[in-house]
Structure 1
Amino acid sequence: MRLSSLPPLPWQAAVLAAAALLLAGCESPLNSVRAKRFGAGDPLPVAPRVEPRALALGLNASPDQQALTPESTRAANALLTQQGRIADQTLSITPFSAQAEPLAQRLAQALVRSGARAPRVLPVPTDEVRLTQASTAGWALELQSEALTADTTRCQIANRSNWTIHPYHGVGPLGCASRANVAAMVSDPRDLARPRTLEAADGRAAVLAVERYQRGEIRDLIDIDFEE
């Protein structure tokens, strides 16, 4: 009889059973140490949030009220870029005086040429407090933009003291840059929050191309001589 086939003594069986229960009921210390090194306890990555956002910007005009100042033009471009695609924004322009109304109309036409959807030119407000604030700031117009935007968390290194030693733990939850890039490139922010049916495709054209390839009927590319 081999020694390996001998049954364990009663006290040995009891010790083995107790050890099995202890291992099953508690976490391995080695696993806990490794989990801490790889960022256990860090906040979970936050997916981009889609929410409506309304922004307003006061604009200064040139002394002759014929154009916006260069500073106001740059600020308006920055606001419109921040709100996403201009075609998906609801734009309104408020002149603060009768002299600024023609400029508001020209600004609306310029926005339409840039792809905006018919911005509304509102009448001069009657609120004296608002008019006084605009006059004090030197504003001729106010540009308002309403749009659905994607709000993403700011990507930054979580722990700058040891990110070169323990990159995973120092950088923080991975994927932040990818989510921020996707949110910046998406044409419709609502696509981040809900699915959408694909548009119709011409399946017959795709099938014919594959069949020509299988039959060896490959069409040559057009050779254009740009020197002629």
Structure 2
Amino acid sequence: MAKKKADAKDLKDEKKREQVVELYRTRLTHLKRAQVFVKEDRMAQAVDSYNKYLGILALYFDTTEDRLTPSLFDAEKDMTELLLISHAYWDLAKAYDRSPNLQRDCLRCLEQFMKFSIGFKYQHVNAQIIRKFNNKKQAHNPKAFEAAYHKIQISAKRCYVATMCFGFEHEKTEVLRHFKLKIAKHELGLDFIDFYYTHSPRLVDFLSQKPVLKFAFNTFIARPLLSTFVFLIRPHVYNQKTHS
């Protein structure tokens, strides 16, 4: 009797899982519909479709939407899906920002947007989305969006070329991180940071595929130039830290 009950339960669970998988195959339909609604400025319908898309993902991973996290996905195989999720949360954050009563939902979606942005190859692209939005002064809660941009683009500790040359924990890499925080207070500094994050990942990826060229670039160009630059800015950077 116990075995029959167990078999019946297993069969029920299997059918339920099949239904979930079938539903999972429809998720992109809801996503595309949401994107169309956004273009048409039909934000209520867009919010509904985005929530269906995210809800299906949550159901597939046997969790709740607010607990969706990049760790549930394969960072390489699911890169496109991760990008789509980040953009879903971005559109939701903007939609919720329109209502003073939904600011908590806006902040939660911004947090999810940051979670699905930081550390991925498209991190810089997502940071640019926020900066352009901020420059248009469309946000009802601009401080929240400015903080999100700062966290994704400025506070992120990744420094591609310096890390390639010296390592992530090297003192020179740390000086350059502090320099980035300092220049981020100015518009020209932000422009430089945006330029750096646009081109440096491509350079590092290219060199990683050509070991001999990478050795030559590091030895004769990058390390000497960065070492000289760090020597020149280190006193000012650390003085700035002392007075902050």
- TM-score norm. by structure 1 comes to 0.20
- TM-score norm. by structure 2 comes to 0.19
Greater helix fraction, Structure 1 or Structure 2: 2
RCO higher in 1 or 2 (8 Å CA, sep ≥ 6)? 1
